[in-house]
Homo-oligomer: A and B are copies of this chain.
Amino acid sequence: MTMARLTEYEDMNPRAKAVVETIARGRNVDPGRINNVWKALARHPAVMERFADQMRVVMAPGKLDALTKELIYLAVSVANQCEYCIASHGAMARNKGMTEEMHEEFLAVVLAAQQGNKIAVAYRVPVDDAFEEK
């Protein structure tokens, strides 16, 4: 039903092509098989370059490992109700080791947080002094 204006790799402008090539090289795939989000972003190279750069830096394993980062990304995507991101980062989380049991625990925490968030707001609960950073 969705009719995003997607640009295939061979039809992209040089700046978009360069972004795709860097991503494809990093994932060891063919640039022609890049995901749809990049085909959609190709019409706006400045936005595309900035987002690609940010994703590359931010999602790289550091003090948090790659799977934990995917779960954080996925948690935000479920809270924000972004279907594309739930599908894409769900797939990436599975690629990085999320088992079915971990998926279930992940969702159970997300659902508890949804309720906790609304409880705090509905009752207008003031922040405890004990939670403040000293």
A-to-B contact residues, CB < 8 Å: 1-6, 35-37, 40-41, 43-44, 46-47, 50-51, 54-55, 57-59, 62-64, 68-69, 71-73, 75-91, 94, 99-128, 130-133
Contacts and interface: CB of A to CB of B under 8 A. Distances in A.
B107 A122 contact: yes
Contacts of A44: 100, 103-104, 107
Copies held by the complex: 6
A32 B5 CA distance: 28
Contacts of A102: 63-64
Nearest to A121: B81
Given A118-B78, A125-B84, A100 B43 contact: yes
